[in-house]
Amino acid sequence: MAVSSVALVSVPYEQQRPGERFLAPQGVRGDLAGRGRSPATQRAYLGDIEQFVAWAQKRDFAQPGAISKRQLREYLAFMTDRGDARTSIVRRRASLRSYFSWLVERGYLGESPAARLSAPRPSSPLPKIVVREQLESLLDEDWGTDEWATLDRRSARSFTVPDFA
């Protein structure tokens, strides 16, 4: 995704017209670079901020101060309803937290509405359950002549599968 010039406006924040107050100042890129973010991460974060700004402006939010945690949750819900991947939503939340933190650090906002914003956790597969046959197969394997392996095998044999249930 290409980042348009909207996210890279270098006009001082105070000099922007009210409808432009949402534009991500050029300083956001410098701040991301200063925090050691890779160029790819910088592009992704700036693109995420640009998408959020477009979403907010369509809903008549003219500046960052008009955004509350509720609007940020609505934005996360919008992305979820749209079918965006959880990992993308988590990254976009991080982008918004970074953006609003930057605004607070520069004195443009008193507090960040994204400070405690939660997002869906990336899904992780559940561990596979070991079935009795797999456990017995493992115990029947030749463990070699290593004395610790032999001791472990003897210890494991003293338990039965129902003991683990």
Domains of the chain: 5-105 (1.10.150), 132-164 (no CATH)
Q: For residue 110, is pLDDT > 80? A: yes
Average pLDDT over residues 135-163: 65
The model's pTM is 0.60
Q: For residue 97, is pLDDT > 50? A: yes
Question: First CA to last CA across the chain, in angstroms?
Answer: 50
Contacts of 74 (CB under 8 A, 6+ apart): none
Q: What is the pLDDT of residue 7?
A: 37
Q: What is the pLDDT of residue 19?
A: 42
The pLDDT mean for the chain works out to 75
